[in-house]
Amino acid sequence: MHRVVVTGLGPVSGIGIGVDEFTDGLRRGRSAAAPITSFDASGFPHRYAGEVPAFRPAEVLRRVRVEQWGRSALLAAAAARLAATDAGLPLPLADPGRAGAVIGTTSGESTVVEQLVADLVAGGYPSMSVDSLRQAPAERLAYAVSAELGLAGESVTLTTACSASNYAIGYAYDLLHTGEADVMVAGGADSVCRWAHAGFFRLGALTERQCRPFDRDRSGILTGEGGAALVLETLDHAVARGARIYAEVLGHGLNCDAHHMVAPNEDSIAACMRLALDNAGIKPVDVDYVSTHGTGTPANDLCEARAIRAVFGDRVPPVSSIKSMLGHTMGAASGFGAIATTLAIRHGFLPPTINWANPDPELPWIDPVPNVARPATVRVAQNNGFAFGGNNAITIFGAIR
């Protein structure tokens, strides 16, 4: 069995594009929240989201043609290109069949599908664009990464909603750990779209302007978008090519609540944490920081906090939610959490939970690293990802030793 390490990071986010900008955004507690521009939101009472207005795919991508892909695929491919550049991967790889891509998503290319439906309603089937129909399948997200980087190994898109990036990291970890691959690009991508915004609004889960995880007065999520990619390699492969190593992937855990379509289950989440810790070969006392799912809804944060208490007991480490800065980037969310966790280990700081004002008396054990990043020695960190359908996925990262 092979040890697995992180050698490259590729964030395309509303608080920064590229690892340096993203790190600065985390340290400063920058917010991506702004009025929606991706679609006409004038009919909604809540009109803010965490978009990436600075994204210019043609400035990042080298191989794929921008006009042939939907926005989510472009976010995935651009994140992968940034991660590969950050990792110093020698492209084209000597053995591209030993390298692959696993990308998670919630909405896939829903912005493309929405436009196709609008065209269909307006003018019937003849009005539907053939080019748009080609862009619509969700599996093209991983394909875009493989095409951009010339990877000929497994190319998989996982659609386990808001925990999908952690599923992708776990899938890639397993391929590397068992020696089936040398290099994998893993993460997630999603775009701000009307149906997700409308769906969360109808569920009563959407806040107006600020996401405030673990605050007493939290009221819901902001939808968001972005692409998050990590280059993962076997330790032997990374060392052989002289790569800079950010951190080690220690393990992961997956389970399903099998309980309710949208309501989280405390016991199942706690069980997933224990699975991840056991897979990583560590104990709760070893964990220095938890990057939470932290959506900012009353139900999620209470359930997650109670599950954390059940696992960690009286020694609950500091936690934070970067959704307070990015919004909920759906399938990319735990990918951004993994990047933030890796940076916390590498650079010795805890990302803050911004917009936090009032402690929740129901969660007295939670230290949310309120509003300001905090210097800290982070040896081991846990990255939580949960999703509708009860799909829980948790990854564990550690300082390289």
Beta-strand relationship, 380-385 and 391-398: antiparallel
Catalytically annotated residue among 2, 46, 237, 293 = 293
For the chain, what's the residue count?
Answer: 401
> 41 is written with which tokens?
């939101």
**Tens digit of pLDDT at every position of the chain (401 positions):** 999 999 999 999 999 999 999 999 999 999 999 999 999 999 999 999 999 999 999 999 999 999 999 999 999 999 999 999 999 999 999 999 999 999 999 999 999 999 999 999 999 999 999 999 999 999 999 999 999 999 999 999 999 999 999 999 999 999 999 999 999 999 999 999 999 999 999 999 999 999 999 999 999 999 999 999 999 999 999 999 999 999 999 999 999 999 888 889 999 999 999 999 999 999 999 999 999 999 999 999 999 999 999 999 999 999 999 999 999 999 999 999 999 999 999 999 999 999 999 999 999 999 999 999 999 999 999 999 999 989 999 999 999 98
In terms of phi and psi (left: phi > 0; alpha: psi -120 to 50; beta: otherwise), the region of 392 is beta
Residue 24, CB half-sphere, CA atoms under 13 Å: how many? 7
Is 162 marked active-site?
yes
- How many whole angstroms separate alpha carbon 103 and alpha carbon 331? 9
- How many whole angstroms separate alpha carbon 315 and alpha carbon 69? 47
Is 46 marked active-site?
no
Say if CB 206 and CB 220 are below 8 A apart. Answer: yes
Q: Which amino acid is at 149?
A: L
Catalytically annotated residue among 2, 46, 252, 328 = 328
> 115 is written with which tokens?
């436009």
Catalytically annotated residue among 162, 193, 211, 303 = 162
Structural domains of the chain, ranges and CATH numbers in brackets: 4-241 (3.40.47.10), 252-398 (3.40.47.10)
Strands, E assignment, 154-246: 155-158, 183-190, 226-234
Say if CB 159 and CB 126 are below 8 A apart. Answer: no
